[in-house]
Amino acid sequence: MEKAMERDGIRTNDRQLACARIQSQEGQDYLAAMAAAANFAWVNRSAMTFLARQAFAKIFNKGPGDLDMHVIYDVSHNIAKIEEHMVDSEIKQLLVHRKGSTRAFPPHHPLIPVDYQLTGQPVLIGGTMGTCSYVLLGTEVGMESTFGSTCHGAGRSQSRNKSRRKLEYSEVLAKLAKQGISIRVASPKLVMEEAPESYKDVSAVVDTCHDAGISRKCVKLRPIAVIKG
């Protein structure tokens, strides 16, 4: 990417950003690799959904259908999509790359499923293992001002390394237990890395997006069980 930027005279306003022209070999290689990663993510989520349904069916001795365990919505975060947007009073085809954000199209948009045509695209905002999560809905304001995008989570307030240094495994588990949250974890270090203290206040982030009009609040969810790793 950096070689392609130098070759094609591309400059960014942040040294952490890198890009290439879409039709260049680097651009096409990137899109192909991204598509492979997205396919892996879709399959991975499908596998986890299947295994979760099987676990609930085994414990409750009922089928997933009887337990109403259907997928409400599935969407990829951190992905580039070819879309049409209004730019300078003209409809143009753009490659919209959402990093740290997710798509949030408004009601009646042709690219969202028929079940959500009247409400707008569902937006899944994951909180931490000790805080709430949200389901938001896309809006027309977001379509006009952010290319139909909104936040996709709270975002980290401190690095993984800093979380491991500052937090104690037993203290995080005790705090979750006090909140009535069960946890199963593959590695103790994951508990510190993903502790609620490692992230920003998801409610404040969601409120900001709601107040700005780029998405609107629909459902607030409270965690009761967490599986990590």
Catalytic residues: 152
Residue corresponding to tokens 């009922």:
62
Cβ atoms within 10 Å of 104's Cβ, excluding its own = 30
| C-beta separation of 12 from 19 below 8 A | yes
Half-sphere exposure of 224 (CA within 13 A, CB side): 1
Q: Which helix (H) or strand (E) holds 129?
A: none
Cβ atoms within 10 Å of 6's Cβ, excluding its own = 10
Residue corresponding to tokens 């502790």:
195
